[in-house]
Amino acid sequence: MIEVREALKWIQNGARRVDILKGISLTIPAGQFVAIVGASGSGKSTLLGLLAGLDSPSSGEIWLDGVPIHNLAEAQLAAVRGRKIGFVFQSYQLIPTLTALENVLLPFELNCEGSGLKKARELLESVGLVERMDHYPVQLSGGEQQRVAIARAFVVEPPIIMADEPTGNLDSTNGRMILDLLLEHNKRAGTTLVLVTHDPEVASTADRKIVLRDGRIVEDTLPYEPEAAAEQAQHG
C-alpha cells in the first residue's frame, strides 16, 4: 500500500544544508496500523508529510497504492491525496466558516460524484455528534473538533488514513476517546493507518512501531507473535 525507497529530505539554509531525513526505506502493507514515534526533531512529521504527498522528498521515491507520488505534478498529486488519503491533524484544521456537517462533507464534494450527505451524517452520528452537526468549529470543544476531523477523514472511504499527533492537543480522557474512535473506524473500514505520536501508550496499540532518531529508522518492530516466540523458546 505504501512504499518508500531511499527517501531523503533536506532544506537549504544559506550555504548550509540541513538534513531532516537521511535515507528512509520501508514498506507498509494494506490494512496495517503503523505508529511512527521519535523525539521532537527526529523527522517523524516530515516523513508523514512525504507519505501523504503534502511535501516532496529531496531525493528517493514514494509509492502510494501503486502510484509514484514523488514525481507527480501538484494537480495530479491533489487528486491522489483526495481519493486515497484521509488525514487527521493535531490542530484539527477545520474550516471556521463551515458547520461540522459541511466540514465533513467537503472532501466528498471535492473528490466524489453524487451526494455524500447521508454518509456525512452517519459518520458524525458514529462519533457522537448527532446534536452538533449544525455547529461551527468555534462552538465545539477541542475533543468535538477532533471527532469532526475523524469523520471527515473517512467520508470518501480512502484506503489510507494518516494522523499526525491526533491526541496531542487534548487531555488524557479526550485523547483516549479520540484514539478509540480512530481505531474503531479504522478497523470497521479496513484501512491502512499510519499514525505519528510521542505517546508510548498510543504506540503500544499499533500492529507495528517504527522509531526514528535523527532522520533515520533505528527500530522497526512488527507485531508480537506468540507462536513464533513459543517456537523460538522451544528451539532455544
Q: How far apart are CA 23 and CA 25, in angstroms?
A: 7
Q: Residue 222: its pLDDT value, please?
A: 74
- 235: its cell numbers: 528451539
The mean of the pLDDT values for the chain is 91
Q: Residue 233: its pLDDT value, please?
A: 47
* Cβ(193)–Cβ(158) below 8 Å: no
* Cβ(162)–Cβ(93) below 8 Å: no
Helices (H), 91-171: 100-111, 117-126, 142-154
SS3 192: strand
Q: Residue 126: its pLDDT value, please?
A: 94
Q: How far apart are CA 25 and CA 125, in angstroms?
A: 39
* Cβ(212)–Cβ(218) below 8 Å: yes
Q: Residue 200: its pLDDT value, please?
A: 84
| Longest Cα–Cα distance in the chain | 63
The candidate with the shortest Cα–Cα distance to 152, out of 188, 116, 191, 176, is 116
Q: In what order do the strands lie in the sheet with 33-37?
A: 85-88, 160-164, 192-196, 33-37, 208-213, 216-221
Q: Residue 229: its pLDDT value, please?
A: 43
Domain-wise residue ranges, the chain: 2-235
Question: Per-residue pLDDT tens for 8-51?
Answer: 999 998 899 999 999 999 999 999 999 999 998 899 999 999 99
Q: Residue 223: its pLDDT value, please?
A: 59
The candidate with the shortest Cα–Cα distance to 140, out of 168, 91, 99, is 99
Whether the predicted pLDDT of 167 surpasses 60: yes
CATH code given to domain 2-235: 3.40.50.300
Sign of CA dihedral 77, 79, 84, 85: positive
Q: Taking residues 169-182, what's their average pLDDT? A: 91
Place of cell 532522520: 215
Model confidence band, residue 230 (pLDDT cutoffs 50, 70, 90):
very low
Q: Residue 199: its pLDDT value, please?
A: 84
* Cβ(34)–Cβ(208) below 8 Å: yes
The total of other beta-carbon atoms located within 10 Å of residue 230's CB is: 10
Q: Taking residues 222-234, what's their average pLDDT? A: 50
Whether the predicted pLDDT of 226 surpasses 50: no
Question: Per-residue pLDDT tens for 54-88?
Answer: 999 999 999 998 899 998 988 999 999 999 999 99
Q: How far apart are CA 186 and CA 194, in angstroms?
A: 11
Predicted structure pTM score: 0.89
Sign of CA dihedral 42, 45, 47, 50: negative
Q: Residue 8: its pLDDT value, please?
A: 96
The percentage of residues in the chain with a pLDDT greater than 90, rounded to a whole number, is 75
Listed ranges 139-153, 177-191, 210-224; the one with the highest mean pLDDT: 139-153
Instruction: List the beta strands (DSSP E) in 14-117.
Output: 16-28, 33-37, 59-64, 67-68, 85-88
